[in-house]
Structure 1
Amino acid sequence: MLDRFIDRYVRAINLLIALALAVMVVLVFGNVVLRYVFNSGITVSEELSRWLFIWITFLGAVAALRENAHLGTDMLVSRLPVKGKKVCMVLGQVLMLYLTWLFLAGSYKQMLINWDVEAPVTGASMAFFYASGVVFSVCAGFLLVLQLLRVLSGQVRESDLVMVKESEEQAELEALQAELARENAATQQPGART
């Protein structure tokens, strides 16, 4: 039930990201055309595009956190026994929660400081700019706590204890390397044709 809600929430975030990206493209492209063809432009285009880019980045980070699509390496963790993987995952989740808390505190303070500061072009409150960090921190914190509780309650499979997944290119490279190693082993065996 909760997983379905989170999946729908992340799907809504992805739709918001797509919408914001479409608005950005229209604003920037439209501004370029207006400047070169009609010698005019959309005054708020640059500022709105910058704000949308910031929001896209932070909302995308929430979606990536849900899908475990962040960067990392599994060189050590994948070789550990199950207990070691669990300890590493709990430590990682606790560290990420702490960093998310720091980010939330800083973003919230900046939002309050800039509440009455107006943006140069639109005149909108600059608090909206820093609110992206608050929204990210709250959403990410919720997902991290949920993942931590699942690990501590034993609801995570062993295959999910290594959160970093190989990219398709890495998997293809390893398959190619394994094939080359088999071919080299076959050619170096006694009686093999050369």
Structure 2
Amino acid sequence: MHTQFILAARIMRGISTAALWLAGAGLILMTVFISGQVFMRYVMNDSIVWSEPASVILMGWFIFLGAAVGIREGYHLSFDVVLYFLPNKAKLILYSISDGLVALFGACMAWFGAQLALSAWNVKLPSLGVSGAVDFLPLVAGGCLIFIFSVERLVLRAAGRPTARFGEAQPDEA
């Protein structure tokens, strides 16, 4: 059973690392697009028509992928002041409730993002020439990852394994 947890944690870490690299690449690419647009507009007195919508789509990707990685690594927004005064068992229960709610949020994000993507499937973005569903795919992917990473945290906690929380050991390092 121990080796299964280690294997699953390594797979999740690989997915998390890939998501983080994709988010970073999206941020860099968006910066290049916007810089190119500024240069073209103010130096060449011309404009790149696709740079702004492409940058907005990339921004969605790096925000939602980065948020999912933050969930897995325990860096999401939380109020921990009360937890300092509670016993460990109560802390674990509150962490589990929090992770359950975050998993539900991720599932809803994926579900409703998919609904939006399907509703925009036949709409064509004129400046990019792609389906309008592309605008909503980051919601679906980010929601799925948030759900998976939150469930991973719940399963690890239920099995008595450590979960990443503000600098603590990663599940596959313990």
Q: Structure 1: any 5+ residue segments left out of the alignment?
A: 166-194
Q: Which of 34, 57, 61 lines up with 1:55 in the alignment?
A: 61
Q: Read off the aligned partner of 2:103 and give its amino acid letter.
A: L
Q: Distance in 1 between matches of 2:52 and 2:135?
A: 14
Contact 1:74–1:164 (CA under 8 A) maintained in structure 2: no
Report deviation, 1:33. Answer: 1.0
Contact 2:73–2:166 (CA under 8 A) maintained in structure 1: no
Contact 1:70–1:164 (CA under 8 A) maintained in structure 2: no
Q: Read off the aligned partner of 2:26 and give its amino acid letter.
A: A
Contact 2:114–2:137 (CA under 8 A) maintained in structure 1: yes
TM-score after normalising by structure 1: 0.76
Match of 2:107 in 1: 101
Q: Which of 35, 38, 46 lines up with 2:44 in the alignment?
A: 38
The residue correspondences of 1:71-82 to structure 2 (distance < 5 A) are: 71-82=77-88
TM-score after normalising by structure 2: 0.85
1:86 counterpart SS class: helix
Q: Distance in 1 between matches of 2:62 and 2:77?
A: 18
Q: Distance in 1 between matches of 2:15 and 2:96?
A: 25
Percent identical pairs in the alignment equals: 27
Q: Distance in 2 between matches of 1:121 and 1:30?
A: 16
Match of 1:114 in 2: 120
Instruction: Give structure 1 regions of 4+ aligned residues with deviation exceeding 4 angstroms.
Output: none
Q: Which has the larger radius of gyration?
A: 1
Match of 2:92 in 1: 86
- The answer to whether the aligner puts 1:70 opposite 2:84 as a matched pair is no
Whose RCO is larger (CA < 8 A, sep 6+)?
2
Q: Distance in 2 between matches of 1:87 and 1:81?
A: 10
Report deviation, 1:132. Answer: 0.8
